[in-house]
Amino acid sequence: MFELLRNHRRKAAGLILVVMPFVLMATSAGASIGESPSHLPMQWMQRGVGWAQYGGTLGVGGLGGLWARITSAELVEENRRLKHEVARLREEKSRLIGILQENSRLREMVDLQKRHPEYELVPAMVIGRDVSPYFRVVTIKIQSNAKLKARMPVIAAGGVVGQIHRVYGEFADVVVLSDPRSRIDAISQRNRTQGVVQGLGHERDYFAKIAYLLQKDEIRAGDVMVTSGMGGIFPKELIIGTVTEIGTSERGLFQEASIEPAVDFSRLEEVFVIMGSH
């Protein structure tokens, strides 16, 4: 008998744990609320069942805690992986946007060359800007062995930029059209009204003005001003900018008009120097 129990003790223990709750229910079915079992064996049996249930609860709780820790670690690792992937995609997006913008600018420069095959154009890169609040100068570097000279005109895909001020080998300072020192003979595309575009030297924008407009000259907001070809610096019909408002000069003899340059100087990266005509 003892040998049989020893060989099957695990099965017997399991059977007892299963049967004991039913025995306890049967024996306590008639007991009143608040009464404790009077028999000592019954109390031992109930204590045994209690300890078994307590151990089972601890086991389940421990497994739950272990599972929670495993799940939490997996979530942390997944979160780290997703953050890394988001950062990589943002970097790739930024790089692709830069490439698309550069391709767009290069296409505009190629189109400019096609529109003006009569000019000898040398490409240059904008490498610096003067931070003076009154003067507007950009520094360029040409991408060839061409010899630069002062007063050579500089243009971009949008229109007139300015003219070379000083030359340092393959580098040059360019006075842009919004600089107070700049003077460009201009003419209206709409009715051929003539004037001189002068830089205003504003600290916060690149606006210029059209001076020497007679009171009888008809000019209005929205008129596009282009180079007149007079003065011997800029060729004819290069876009300078658009008239934004009309006023009267201080002396009252002439009209004055504000003009917004066609070129966005705050985003200027590539230009052409007009070396001459073919």
Q: Do 269 and 140 form a contact (C-beta atoms < 8 A)? A: no
pLDDT of residue 55: 58
Its pTM surpasses 0.75: no
Identify residue 91 by its one-letter amino acid code.
E
Per-residue pLDDT of 89-148, as tens digits, reads: 787 777 777 666 666 666 766 676 777 778 888 889 999 988 676 678 899 999 788 899
Per-residue pLDDT of 43-87, as tens digits, reads: 566 666 565 555 555 555 555 565 666 667 777 777 888 888 888
- In CATH, 120-277 is 2.40.10.350: yes
Angle CA 179–132–182, to nearest 5: 10
Give burial (CB, 10 Å; 0-12/13-18/19+) of 155.
buried
The least confident of 20-24, 147-151, 155-159, 258-262 is 20-24
For residues 194 and 115, the model is more confident at 194
User: Quick count: other Cβ atoms within 10 Å of Cβ 214?
Assistant: 13
Measured CA distances, 153 to 165, 177, 233 (Å) = 10, 11, 6
Provide the token pair at 254.
Answer: 């002439």
Domain boundaries, the chain: 1-26+39-115, 120-277
Identify residue 218 by its one-letter amino acid code.
E
Residue 231 CA to residue 174 CA, distance in Å, equals 18
Give CA 102 to chain center in angstroms: 15
CB within 8 Å of 223: residues ≥ 6 apart: 188, 189, 190, 191, 193, 242, 243
